[in-house]
Amino acid sequence: MRFHSLAPAVTLAMLCGVAGVVALGQGTAPTNVAPANTANGAAKTDNSVIRQIDLDGLKTLLQPDQKEPRPQLVNFWATWCDPCREEFPDLVKIDTDYRARNLNFVAVSLDDVSEIGTTVPKFLKEMKASMPVVLLNVSDPEPAIKLVDVGWDGQLPATFLYDKQGKVVFKHFGRINAQELRAAIDKALGNKQ
Amino acid sequence: MKKQYAISLLLASSFIIALAAVAGSGRSSSSDVPAPPAIGATIEDFKLPDADGKDHTLKSLMGKKGVVILFIATKCPVSNNYNDRMEKLAQDYKSQGVNVIGINSNYTEPSAEVKSHAAEKHLTFTILKDEGNKIADRLGATRTPEAYVLDANNKLVYHGRIDNSQKTEGITSNDLRDALDEVVAGKAVTKTGGAAFGCTIKRPA
């Protein structure tokens, strides 16, 4: 397993439960808001309408939540990216398996905004994906990429796991190895108390 | 006896080396790609075949002022969004002493496909096939499209995106062209790189 620990340029952190997910919306369509939620944020998200976020939205997504700190998994993907599509069933399964175990998970789509009502929700429906999904819509991708990781140059997919302090404890560029990622998540969750 | 022992030792060592080579040959993702050379580093000459199997050295493709190396793909939609821009770049800078070359390092895209894709998309610059992604590894290339600019002395002066937007109407930062204009003018490159989303170069697992 490749374990990378690095000091990101900014303090990256986790969002917490549905409150965090709602904050991602930036006031857009409410249909992406998770329905009646349990105390540990274990609700499914309806991805029939995808929210778009800008650079500020991405910052919000990566903001630490001091009240209910949890590890967070963030996957950057696009429907045009073959390895992203290939790994998606693994991510859906990881979401299903870990949702009730205090792991937050957000999938950030880099599809063109013109696909937000077509290709993206169609793919998510096919995948039966119920983790929160947002679409990053920025005119220049560089500040967003460097906000996430100064060492990242934008290749997709890219997957980051943050511990509850918001520190990157695992990152992977290219198709994930589900076993490696699960081991990293288990470790992050094991250290949660 | 001594000789036998030596042979056994030799065999055992070869076995261990072979095992290590096999263990090290798998690569699951670009997380394992070597780091790219730093800006200012000198890039050694290399030799790769084009889609017809004809070998070219970097030296033979170097322009008077420099060279642009573009890692490209046949199937990546992002790379394909840049086909026209890459061809125009090659045309625009040819007369200014800068050659553009393409490299396809995706193991999923064989030479025949590279050739037909170039014909179909009207790409006239030389495209090399990097079997085993040796040059992609040497340059730390991870995605398509990804650009490297070397000056006439093989010094790396730019490494990164072509521009900020997959759609031409959204271009606000022409990073690669800005760098080339400076190279042509004999000036130091101001912005030596830039990040953009792209497809991961497909290396065998």
pLDDT per residue over A12-69, tens digit each? 443 333 344 434 433 333 333 333 333 345 578 888 889 999 999 999 999 877 788 8
State yes or no: pLDDT of B20 exceeds 70: no
Per-residue pLDDT tens for A1-15? Answer: 344 444 443 334 433
Å between B107 CA and nearest CA of chain A: 14
b/e code B28-42 from CB counts within 10 Å (16+ = b): bbbbebeebbeeeee
Put simply, the answer to whether A4 touches B31 (Cβ < 8 Å) is yes
CB-side exposure of A167: number of CA atoms within 13 Å?
10
Higher pLDDT, B5 or A111: A111
Q: Is the pLDDT of residue B64 over 50?
A: yes
Whether B117 has its CB under 8 Å from any CB of chain A: the answer is no
**Residue B122 main-chain phi, psi, to 5 deg:** 60, 45
- Preferred mutation among B28, B200, B203 to probe A, highest tally of A CBs within 10 A: B200
What's the sign of the alpha-carbon dihedral A11, A12, A16, A22? positive
> Where residue B4 falls among pLDDT bands split at 50, 70, 90?
low
> Which DSSP category does B155 fall into?
B
Length in residues, chain A: 193
Q: Three-class SS string for A10-69?
A: CCCCCCCHHHHHHHHCCCCCHHHCCCCCCCCCCCCCCCCCCEEECHHHHHHHCCCCCCCC
pLDDT of residue A86: 96
- In the structure, how many helices (H) and strands (E) does chain B have? 7, 10
Query: Which residue out of A1, A146, A153, A161 would a mutagenesis test of the B interface target, given it has the greatest number of B Cβ atoms within 10 Å?
Result: A153
- Give the global pTM: 0.81
CB atoms A175 and B29 under 8 Å: yes
Taking 90 as the threshold, does the pLDDT of residue A103 lie above it?
A: yes
- A163 or B2: whose pLDDT is higher? A163
* 8 Å CB contact between B203 and B133: yes
Task: Kindly report the average pLDDT of chain A as a whole number.
Answer: 81
How far is A136 from chain B, CA to nearest CA, in Å?
11
How far is the C-alpha of A159 from the C-alpha of A170, rounded, in Å?
A: 8
pLDDT of residue B30: 57
Give the ipTM.
0.81
Q: Which residues between 124 and 143 in chain B have a beta carbon less than 8 angstroms from any beta carbon of chain A? A: 142-143
Would you say A157 and A176 are in contact if contact means Cβ atoms under 8 Å apart? yes
Query: What does the pLDDT read at residue A47?
Result: 85
User: A166-170, B48-52, B103-107 — which is least confidently predicted?
Assistant: A166-170
Short-list A152, A164, A126, CA closest to A20: A164
Query: Across the interface, do A139 and B201 touch by the CB < 8 Å criterion?
Result: no
